[in-house]
Amino acid sequence: GENVEQHPSTLSVQEGDSAVIKCTYSDSASNYFPWYKQELGKRPQLIIDIRSNVGEKKDQRIAVTLNKTAKHFSLHITETQPEDSAVYFCAASSRNTGNQFYFGTGTSLTVIP
């Protein structure tokens, strides 16, 4: 089955700096890669996703890049703000796994004002 690894587990950045979170996956058939943000005491929320036919996707201050050859994808947050502080999860899925999503272990991001 798929194995998704996520690094780092914790990340602290100064407000205004950039944050990068990386994930690797093992199943070359995986073709959909969403990212979720979970604030303390709240539900995970989808913030951005990328499909395997695209190498990069941006949405304002967040972007995701995908390297299919190396089987890794990354979340980039620019001009970080205190409200970006949360736990971020990456995930991967493929048509071979019947709608099952495989999650990374999460990255706790703290943005220091």
Strand (E) positions, 1-113?
Answer: 4-7, 10-14, 19-25, 32-38, 45-51, 56-59, 62-67, 72-77, 86-92, 102-103, 107-112
98 or 113: whose CB is closer to another protein? 98
Task: Report which DSSP code applies to 9.
Answer: S
**How many whole angstroms separate alpha carbon 52 and alpha carbon 58?**
15
Least separation in angstroms between residue 97's CB and another protein is 7
Q: Judged by CB under 8 A, does residue 61 bind another protein? A: no
Residue 102 CB, nearest approach to another protein (Å): 8
Q: Are 93 and 25 in contact (CB under 8 A)?
A: no
Task: Give least dist CB 14 to another protein, A.
Answer: 25
Instruction: Please report whether residue 100 would count as binding another protein according to CB under 8 A.
Output: yes
Q: Contact positions toward another protein, by CB under 8 A? A: 31-32, 34, 36, 42-46, 49, 51, 89, 91, 93-95, 97-106
